[in-house]
Structures are given as C-alpha cells and as structure tokens.
Amino acid sequence: MKAKQKLREAIDSLYSRGCASSEAYTRLVLECVRHNDFNQAKRLQSHMDLHLYQPNNTFLHNRLLQLYSKSGRLSDAQNLFEKMSQRDIFSYNAMLSVYSRLGSVQDLWAFFDGVPCRDSVSYNTVIAGLASKGCSSKALEVFIRMQQEGFQPTEYTHVSALNACSRTLDLKRGKQIHGRIVSCNLDGNVFVWNALIDMYVKCGVIDQARWLFNRMVNKNVVSWNSMISGYLINGQPEKCIGLFHEMRLSGLKPDAITVSNVLGAFFQRGYIDEAHETFSEIKEKDKVCWTTMIVGYTQNGKEEDALMLFSEMLLENVRPDNFTISTVVNSCARLASLYHGQVVHGKAVHLGVDFDLLVSSALIDMYSKCGEIKDAWVVFKMMPTKNVVSWNSMIIGYAQNGKDLDALALYEEMLQEKLKPDNITFVGVLSACVHAGLSERGREYFNSISKFHEMTPTLDHYACMINLLGRSGYMDKAVDLINGMPHEANSLIWSTLLSVCSTNGDVKHGEMAARRLFKLDPLNAGPYIMLSNMYAACGRWKDVASMRSLMKDRKVKKFAAYSWIEIDGKIYNFVSGDRTHPESEKIYQELNRLIRKLQESGFSPDTNLVLHDVGEDEKFESICYHSEKLALAFGLIRKPQGEAPLRIIKNIRVCGDCHVFMKFVSKLIGRPVILRDSSRFHHFVGGQCSCKDLW
Ligand code: ZN
Ligand code: ZN
C-alpha cells in the first residue's frame, strides 16, 4: 500500500516539474509494472506525451503495452502502439498478446497478417489466442503454417494446439498432434502429457486417456484432476471416486478442483455423507468447494444443511459469489424460510451482487414462495436489467399467489418490451388463467404458443389446459385434448385429470385417469387415495374397501404428509397426529380450543374426506389433527400477538377440511394465515382464501 502511494506521489511531483530524464521515466514505468498499477502508468504516459518525450528504444513502450494488456485496456494499448515511432518484434508480440486476450478473432487475425517480422513467440501467442476463442481450425492452420515457415513448435505450441482440439472435440486433429508429439520426443513432458489426457477426455475417448495416465511417471495434481474430471463428465462417478482414493494413497494432496469434482461424483450417486466427509478433510477450501457442497445439499433436498454450510462459509471468510448466493436463496425458497431469505438478501446487498440477474431472479422466487409478493415486486422493479428468467419469476410468483390478473398484465407488458416468452412463461400465464377461471383467454394464450411464438406446447401447457377445461365443466373436451396431443400422456397429465375429476366428482373419468396412473407409477399412493376419497364421497364403500386391499396387495405405502412452520429462523416439522413435540400437550390444548370456538360458530369437521370407513370418533380424531393444524396451533402458542401472518408449508395438497379450518381461523384471530401446499399458495384473510376455494 505504502509503495503504491509513493509511486503516486512520485508521479504527482513529476507533474509539478517539466520533462524528466530517461532514467526517471524508466524507473517509474518499471515501478508501475511491478505494482500492476494501470492508472499511474496511464498518467505517466500522458506526461511523456505532454512533453513530447520519445524514448530512444522500444523498451519503455513495450513494458507499457504489456501492462495495458494485463489490465484489460485494449484501446489504450492500440493508441500507444499507433503513437510509437519505432517498433520491434517485442512490440508486435506484445500487441499480439493484447489482441489474443482482449480483441475479437477478426482483429487478432488482421493484426497477425500485417506483422512484418515473426518469431516462434508470435506463432505461439496467436495459436493460444485463437484456441481460447474457440477457433480451433484456424489455430491448427497457423500451427501447420508455422512449421512450413521453418519455426519449430515448442511444448507450449503443442499444448495450445491440443487445447484447440479439446474445445471443438476435434479428435482427428488431436491424434495427428499426438503423433507429432511422439516424433518430437516431447512425450516425456508432463505439461504436454496433461494436455493430451485432457484432449482425449473431452473427446470422450476415456480409455485412451486412462492408458496415457497409467504410463505417466511424474503425475502432478493437474494430471489427476484431468482424469478424475474425465470420469465425471463421461458419466462414470464410481471410477471418479475410485481414482480419487488412489490419488490420496499416492500421497499427493488433492486441491480444490479435485475436491469439487469428487463431490460432484458423490452427489451423482447420492453419497451425501461421504461427500461431506471428504469436504471436511480438506484444509484449504476455496469458493468452488463450498459452493459445490452447498449445491449438492440443495439438490438432495437438504436445504437446512445447505443454509448451515453457508453460514460456516461466511465464518471462514470465504467470499461467496452470485452463484453461491442464488443457490442459497433457492434453498430458502424451498423451505419458505422468509427469515433466512432476508438474511441472505442482506448478504447479497453487502457483497454487491443483489442486482445480479441470477440472484435477483432467485430473490423474486424466494419472496413469492414465502407469500411476500410485494417484496418480490420490489426486487423485480429495482432490477436495472431484466431477462426472460426475471420476468418468468415474477409472472409465476403472481400466479402462485392468487394475483392472476397482475400475472397476465405483466405478461402483456413483457411482450411490449419485445421480450420473447419461453415455455416457462406460458406455464405461468396459463396457470394464472386456470386460477382466475379465464377459460376463453387461456385458450387464446394456449393457441398463441404455436401460432405467434413458433413453439410446440409442452406437456406442462397441456396439463394447464386440462385443468382449465375440466374446471369449466368441459370434461369431454379435456379428454379429447389428451387424445389429440402430439406427445404421449405422462403421469402429470393423468394426475391433473384425476384431480379435476375429484373436484368435479366425476368418478367415470376419474377411474380412467387413476388406472393409467396405477400403470405408470404403481407404488405412488396418491392416486389410490384420491380415487378412494371420490368413492367415499358418494358412499361407495365397497369400492373404497377394494381400493384399500389393492394398495395392500401391491404394497403401496402412504407417504408421510407433513407440514412445517418457521418461527424466529427455526423450522418446526409436524406430522399428522404428532405427539413427539415437547410442547405437544400445549399444542393440542390450543388446537382443541380453536376447534371448540369454530364449532360454536357453525364449523363441523368434514369427515367425508377420511379414507377409512371407521367410527365417527376416529374419523374426527384423524382429520382434526392434520399436520398443518398442529403447525398452526404451535405458531399461535409461540406468536400469540402481532399482525404478522402465520406461514405454514405442507408437502402435499391441503385437504378440504383444513382449508375450511384455516379460513375460519384467519377470521377468528384477525391475522392472515399463509399456507403453501404442493400445488399453490393459500392466503387466508378474514375468512376468505385467495384461491377462491379452487385448488
Ligand atoms: Zn387436512
Ligand atoms: Zn385456498
């Protein structure tokens, strides 16, 4: 810091005097290069220009060119090069490196063509530049020309040429270069050898890569990493893990790249504990390691672990980037944890990545999934630039939160901004139409997908249309639509039809849909229970019983329905009839108190919805203590006062009885209740629900 300040002061004092001596300029230019200080170098050059100072050799200017290149200043380098009264091969090479790093392919090529004198450095620079810009065939063309003009390629040239082949998966040329390497006796060089392995790995010839790997004497970390990542990208996670163990046995220390690859392999196989073990053993973890582990947790449904790890990462003073932050925000969204979401949002502001496209879209999604649609809107509004993902997040956020007309208005605005909607946009638009019951408009949007936007409707879009038609009472049209689809119907289509049938009490079509689902996914309990409930609702107890024995025969297990509520940043889980919570007694007291209150105002539990044809008392018991009711009672014990909404998440769809219950409670306590179930949001305010009783 001090040295940099001294440098600035020295240049300041230069400005208060006149032209300096050659020695003074040389000393200061070298200081600027040493400290990588572009700003002072620029001032120094201005001073020289001002005093019309021309150095008597190219040395000073060449050093400045190199510094400008390093600092990413293309136009400053170009200007200086133009001004130089004399140029030598070093000046041309410095400028070639500027164009390789910062210019377009055309610029680089044009400059290279006009270079009056070349040496092997010029060729190496341009080959590496072209390879890094993905122009592998041009790079290889220069590689051949270089030899024709009598220059001997070095190990560096061969590596650049191999990188060009890796980038464009040009195995044929890669093999030719391999042949040359052998004939030049360069195959003992670990640098070249690693590039060869990398080329074979990228081109998918993993066995050839392994053969080279096995023959290597002085393998370094890069060699192991190339091979380990090779197995990962070629879909062989077991071999990747195996090689990692071999590497450790060899006594070589894995680096952050090794660990990220191996974690990726563990996660592909689902070995989460092993991944964490490996992760913990690494002393110096970088950002990529931490982020890989966090992503792995999120992808495997361990959001709470992901959040914990993120706070550990901050404690270790590792600076997260936009990708890390957006991953963590996604975890908060899945947990509907507003508390943690807000904390991470604060962190994003602190790091200056809150306006990043990835982060902003994740934040919009998080606030929407927590039912805080106004906050989602604020993030959306503040974004300086938006892409289709940002618009999609906001449209879907509105649709999920019952703001269907706002979702559609936003879509129209998006079209006016000349943005091209994608498949996800239409899922948002069509589901808004479904929730708002706008069948005509929905049909128009659906038709517009192929007519005006040149896309083919996906199964998700068809599912929305089936929902829309079914809810408007056009069951036959919904079935016709399924039969006329260009795609084979999947379980999403049939389960959509089944749930529409269950809302309409249409047993005939419901049975058809359920039968398809039994075939597609025989162990999923959902369709059995739904059909059973439909039979129960019209008193067909015999069919209910046969459904139950069918489940027994096929060993279908009911999945555990559960709910959770977040209080002061902590997540509390509940299952139906749960008595494991330490405050169980209090919770049940509170719940029974609420039920009594509600019964006084005319509410009676809807025991028709209970699957088993058991005694009324038992039915009452099994429906009154559904997990979301327990979560609500617990929330009221912990937060009896205040106006903040109670926020509950349920892993499957809310039942009709709980829905009625929540409406009553929101009126009784005069506070909003926000319930997110597997299909949508329910904002209960003053006895009404935002879903208008359709879900
Ligand atoms: Zn329920
Ligand atoms: Zn609702």
Encode pLDDT of 475-533 as tens digits.
Answer: 999 999 999 998 899 999 999 999 899 888 899 999 999 999 999 988 888 899 889 98
Contact at 8 Å (CB) between 497 and 478?
yes
pLDDT at position 300 is 85
Q: Which ligand is nearest to the CA of 627?
A: 1
Task: Give distance in angstroms: CA of 656 to centre of ligand 2.
Answer: 9
DSSP for 380-404, please give it: HHH-SS--HHHHHHHHHHHHHTT-H
**In angstroms, rounded to a whole number, what is the distance separating the alpha carbons of residues 302 and 297?**
5
Give me 156's structure tokens. Answer: 């560096």
pLDDT at position 616 is 52
Task: Give distance in angstroms: CA of 654 to centre of ligand 1.
Answer: 6
Q: Please give the share of the chain, as a percent, with pLDDT higher than 70.
A: 97
Q: State the sign of the Cα–Cα–Cα–Cα dihedral 20, 21, 25, 31.
A: negative
Q: Which ligand is nearest to the CA of 674?
A: 2
Task: Give distance in angstroms: CA of 596 to centre of ligand 1.
Answer: 17
Give the model confidence (pLDDT) of 626-675 as tens digits.
899 999 999 999 988 877 888 999 988 888 889 989 999 998 888 999 99
pLDDT at position 335 is 87
Q: State the sign of the Cα–Cα–Cα–Cα dihedral 197, 199, 204, 205.
A: negative
CA 383, chain centre distance (Å):
19
Task: Give distance in angstroms: CA of 662 to centre of ligand 1.
Answer: 10
Q: Which ligand is nearest to the CA of 662?
A: 2
**In angstroms, rounded to a whole number, what is the distance separating the alpha carbons of residues 16 and 7?**
15
Task: Give distance in angstroms: CA of 402 to centre of ligand 2.
Answer: 9
Mean pLDDT across 552-574? 86
Task: Give distance in angstroms: CA of 187 to centre of ligand 2.
Answer: 69
Task: Give distance in angstroms: CA of 660 to centre of ligand 1.
Answer: 9
pLDDT at position 622 is 67
| 581 class by beta-carbon count within 10 Å (0-12 exposed, 13-18 middle, 19+ buried) | middle
- Given a cut of 50, whether residue 593 has pLDDT beyond it is yes
Q: What is the dihedral of CA 89, 90, 94, 95, to 10 degrees?
A: -30
Average pLDDT, the chain: 88
DSSP for 156-200, please give it: HHHHHHHHHHHHHT-HHHHHHHHHHHHHTT-TT-HHHHHHHHHHH
Task: Give distance in angstroms: CA of 445 to centre of ligand 2.
Answer: 25
Task: Give distance in angstroms: CA of 142 to centre of ligand 1.
Answer: 71
Tokens 């341009």: give the residue: 126
- Given a cut of 90, whether residue 201 has pLDDT beyond it is yes
Q: Which ligand is nearest to the CA of 401?
A: 2
Give 599's Cβ-side CA count (13 Å radius). 11
> What single DSSP character describes residue 1?
-
Give me 62's structure tokens. Answer: 């060449």
Task: Give distance in angstroms: CA of 469 to centre of ligand 2.
Answer: 20
Mean pLDDT across 227-237? 91
Helices (H), 316-403: 322-335, 338-351, 357-369, 373-382, 388-400
Q: Which fold has domain 458-553?
A: 1.25.40
Task: Give distance in angstroms: CA of 689 to centre of ligand 2.
Answer: 5
Task: Give distance in angstroms: CA of 404 to centre of ligand 2.
Answer: 14
- Given a cut of 80, whether residue 237 has pLDDT beyond it is yes
Q: State the sign of the Cα–Cα–Cα–Cα dihedral 76, 82, 88, 89.
A: positive
Task: Give distance in angstroms: CA of 514 to centre of ligand 1.
Answer: 22
Task: Give distance in angstroms: CA of 677 to centre of ligand 2.
Answer: 9
pLDDT at position 346 is 95
Task: Give distance in angstroms: CA of 655 to centre of ligand 1.
Answer: 4
Cβ-count burial 668-689 (b if 16+ within 10 Å, e if not): eeebbbbbbbeebbbbbbeeeb
Q: How confident is the model at residue 563 (pLDDT cuts 50, 70, 90)?
A: very high
pLDDT at position 617 is 55
Task: Give distance in angstroms: CA of 496 to centre of ligand 1.
Answer: 20
Task: Give distance in angstroms: CA of 425 to centre of ligand 2.
Answer: 23
Facing residues of 676 across strands?
649, 681
Q: Which ligand is nearest to the CA of 629?
A: 1
Q: Which ligand is nearest to the CA of 675?
A: 2
Task: Give distance in angstroms: CA of 658 to centre of ligand 1.
Answer: 4
- Given a cut of 90, whether residue 25 has pLDDT beyond it is no
Task: Give distance in angstroms: CA of 628 to centre of ligand 1.
Answer: 7
3-class secondary structure, 567: strand
**In angstroms, rounded to a whole number, what is the distance separating the alpha carbons of residues 428 and 413?**
14
Q: Which ligand is nearest to the CA of 679?
A: 2
Contact at 8 Å (CB) between 660 and 606?
yes
Q: Which ligand is nearest to the CA of 663?
A: 2
pTM for the full predicted model: 0.70
Task: Give distance in angstroms: CA of 656 to centre of ligand 1.
Answer: 7
pLDDT at position 614 is 47
Task: Give distance in angstroms: CA of 502 to centre of ligand 1.
Answer: 16
Task: Give distance in angstroms: CA of 60 to centre of ligand 2.
Answer: 74
β pairing state of 646-650 and 673-676: parallel
Task: Give distance in angstroms: CA of 564 to centre of ligand 1.
Answer: 14
3-class secondary structure, 451: helix
Give me 509's structure tokens. Answer: 């079509």
Q: How confident is the model at residue 613 (pLDDT cuts 50, 70, 90)?
A: very low
Task: Give distance in angstroms: CA of 371 to centre of ligand 2.
Answer: 13
Mean pLDDT across 261-283? 86
Among 654, 655, 657, 652, residue whose Cα is nearest residue 678 = 652
Q: Which ligand is nearest to the CA of 683?
A: 2
Task: Give distance in angstroms: CA of 434 to centre of ligand 1.
Answer: 23
Q: Which ligand is nearest to the CA of 694?
A: 2
What's the length of the chain?
Answer: 695
Q: Which ligand is nearest to the CA of 533?
A: 1
Give the model confidence (pLDDT) of 390-415 as tens digits.
999 999 999 988 899 999 999 999 99
pLDDT at position 606 is 61
Task: Give distance in angstroms: CA of 300 to centre of ligand 1.
Answer: 27
**In angstroms, rounded to a whole number, what is the distance separating the alpha carbons of residues 378 and 362?**
13
Task: Give distance in angstroms: CA of 644 to centre of ligand 1.
Answer: 23
Task: Give distance in angstroms: CA of 342 to centre of ligand 1.
Answer: 30
Give me 301's structure tokens. Answer: 């449904």
Q: Which ligand is nearest to the CA of 631?
A: 1
Task: Give distance in angstroms: CA of 550 to centre of ligand 1.
Answer: 24
Contact at 8 Å (CB) between 466 and 504?
no
Q: Which ligand is nearest to the CA of 688?
A: 2
Task: Report domain extents, the chain.
Answer: 386-444, 458-553, 564-689
Task: Give distance in angstroms: CA of 529 to centre of ligand 2.
Answer: 21
pLDDT at position 137 is 82
Task: Give distance in angstroms: CA of 551 to centre of ligand 1.
Answer: 21
| 608 class by beta-carbon count within 10 Å (0-12 exposed, 13-18 middle, 19+ buried) | middle
- Sheet containing 570-575: give its strands across: 570-575, 562-567, 646-650, 673-676, 681-685, 688-689
Task: Give distance in angstroms: CA of 639 to centre of ligand 1.
Answer: 22
Task: Give distance in angstroms: CA of 577 to centre of ligand 1.
Answer: 11
